[in-house]
Amino acid sequence: MTTESFPVNKLNKKFLLDNNDMGLKSMRFEKRKTGYYILLNVTDSSKEEHPIGMNNQYKISNEHTFGLPMAVKGKWISDTLYIDYNRLCRIENYKFTITFKESNSIELKLTEASKGINQTIIGKAL
């Protein structure tokens, strides 16, 4: 079963992530007037905040470091969220497969072909 909206119990929780090759410290999802957003804190103290296109359509925004365009889309299948996090101008297309294990944890499978990243990361809600 596929759904194009976030279950309420998956929103507004900040998940602290294990060390990983993308340098992510934490991840959070929010619903705003304009749609769903992914918020990432990175180990270099930068923060990324991007709209997530649902219905298999990318939403375009700008990445924090250089202001270059990004494209992010997501879809739900059962209790798993699949996100394409495409840094277009950097030629980096991260794939997040996020399984919500319980209300206090996630399992994030992170892949990116050009950097050879293929990791499974655990995140705990703060």
Low-confidence ranges of the chain (pLDDT < 50): 1-2
Q: How many domains does the chain have?
A: 1
Q: Which domain holds residue 32?
A: 2-125
Measured CA to CA in angstroms, residue 38 lies from 14, 89, 114 at distances of: 10, 19, 22
Sign of CA dihedral 99, 101, 103, 109: negative
Q: How does pLDDT run across 11-43, given as a tens digit for each residue?
A: 899 999 999 999 999 999 999 998 999 999 999
Q: Are 61 and 70 in contact (CB under 8 A)?
A: yes
pLDDT value, residue 66: 86
How much is the pTM?
Answer: 0.90
CATH code assigned at 76: 2.40.128.20
pLDDT value, residue 3: 54
